[in-house]
Amino acid sequence: MTGLNEVGFLGLSGGLVAVGLFGVLTRRNFVLVLIAIEVAMNAAVLNFVYFAAFAPTPSAGLAGQSAAVVLVGFAATEVAVGLAIVLALNRAKGTINVAEATELKL
Amino acid sequence: MSLEEVAFLLLAVVAVLTAVAALLVRELVHTIMWIAVFFVDLALIYFLLDAPFLGVLQLGVYAGAVTVLLLFGVMVTRKRIFSRGAATGIGPVPIALAVLTFVFLVAAVGELPQAAVAPQSYTPSALSATLFGSYGPWVLLLGIIMLVGVSGSIYLVREGRE
């Protein structure tokens, strides 16, 4: 397991954040925007897991993995709420195009 | 180049390619299939990093639950599920912003302390002792936020709300 260096992992997580940002900025479909946010959040979880594996002390590593577990739970909740908004938007407007969701009232 | 490095490079390339494919393919259902591959790929990276509990969690929560939820959302909101609509062109500004973000994040690598130690693996029992011990309040907070999220979701989608 030696040889996994931080340049590769930072490159991967930075690339995933960039892909997620790109998706949020360019896609108009609400489900695609949600997926792009998920990609970016997974990059954050990956960073927690990577730096936990190379933490200087065991307690620091376990703290990092605990943060990753809690973050996965938050991300799952976010998807549930996001899809509820998708369904409500679809019912109110008949479309899930984010460009047409111009008012907060659903 | 060790076997782990080769495996990580392969998994990293697949992760970025599937994420890009998920956001660019024309069919929404194909998008969700690509994102499922992406989640499984990340789970494999967690196993490579000696974090088995996180790997199983990633498989169960993301590849299992989130994928099915997204599929459900697509099936409910589209009359013809094999159609995208609302696809837009790709302008130069989003690509430039994404590249800038990538460069900014990777530039931080010089600031990191050199971690020469070998990766450590933690058993799920040690992880649970920490998670429910000193980080118990965070789990409690997560539970409360999940409860509020589920209640809010039910309120948003219930019948007869106008």
Q: Quote the radius of gyration of chain A (alpha carbons, Å).
A: 17
**Does B3 touch chain A if contact means CB atoms closer than 8 Å?**
no
* pLDDT band per the 50, 70, 90 thresholds, residue A38: very high
Confidence (pLDDT) at B40: 96
Strand partners, A97: A29
Q: Is the pLDDT of residue A18 over 60?
A: yes
Domain tally, chain A? 1
pLDDT of residue A86: 87
Query: Same structural domain for residues B17 and B70?
Result: yes
Domain holding A15: CATH number?
A: 1.10.287.3510
The pTM is what?
Answer: 0.88
Let me know if residue B154 belongs to a domain. Answer: yes
Residues B6 and B61 occupy one common structural domain: yes
Residues B78 and B154 in one domain: no
pLDDT of residue A21: 92
| pLDDT above 80 for A95 | no
Boundary-marking domain end, from B84, B112, B134: B84
On whether the CB atoms of residues A32 and A23 are closer than 8 A, the answer is yes
Amino acid B157: pLDDT: 84
pLDDT band at A37 (very low <50, low <70, confident <90, very high): very high
- Which of A22, A28, A106 is the best substitution to test chain B (most B C-beta atoms within 10 A)? A22
Inside any domain, residue A51: yes
A42 interfaces chain B, CB cutoff of 8 Å: yes
pLDDT value at residue A92: 82
A30 inside domain: yes
Which residues of chain A have a CB within 8 Å of the CB of B117?
54, 56
* Averaged pLDDT, B81-101: 71
B16 plus B77 within the same structural domain: yes
pLDDT: which is higher, B86 or A37: A37
Residue A4 predicted with pLDDT over 90: no
Looking at the structure, tell me whether residues B80 and B136 fall in a common domain. no
Q: Is the pLDDT of residue A20 over 80?
A: yes
Complex ipTM value: 0.90
pLDDT digits over B47-56, tens only? 988 889 999 9
Scanning chain A, the segments in alpha helix (DSSP H) are 6-26, 30-53, 58-93
**Domain co-membership, B78 together with B127:** no
**A35-41: long-range contacts at Cβ-Cβ below 8 A with a sequence spacing of 24 or more?**
A35/B22, A35/B23, A35/B31, A35/B32, A35/B35, A35/B70, A36/B23, A37/A78, A37/A82, A38/A75, A38/A79, A38/B35, A38/B62, A38/B66, A39/B19, A39/B22, A39/B23, A39/B35, A39/B38, A40/A16, A41/A71, A41/A75, A41/A78
Secondary element (H or E) of residue B33: helix B28-48
Domain that holds residue A87: 6-100
Residues B137 and B62 reside in one and the same domain? no
Which residue from A minimizes the CA distance to B162? A106
Residues B131, B75, single domain; the answer is no
B78 and B18, same structural domain? yes
Angle at which helices A58-93 and A30-53 cross, to 10°: 180
What domain range includes position B20? 1-84
Structure confidence at residue B86 as a pLDDT band (50, 70, 90):
very low
Contacts of B68 in chain A (CB under 8 A): none
Instruction: Report pLDDT digits (tens) over B100-151.
Output: 988 888 887 777 766 656 677 888 888 889 889 899 999 999 999 999 999 9
On whether residue B155 sits in a domain, the answer given is yes
Model confidence at A24: pLDDT above 50:
yes
For residue B101, being part of any structural domain is answered with no
CATH of the domain at B47: 1.20.120.1200
Q: What pLDDT, on the 0 to 100 scale, is given for residue B83?
A: 54
> To the nearest whole angstrom, how far is the Cα of A22 from the nearest Cα of chain B?
6
In a domain, A61, yes or no: yes
* Count of structural domains, chain B: 2
Q: What is the pLDDT of residue B60?
A: 93
Assigned domain for A94 exists: yes
The per-residue pLDDT for range B21-59, each reduced to its tens digit, is 998 888 888 999 999 999 999 999 999 888 899 999 999
B145 contact partners, CB below 8 Å, separation of at least 6: A74, A77
Judge whether A105 lies within some domain: no
Task: Encode pLDDT of A78-89 as tens digits.
Answer: 999 999 988 888
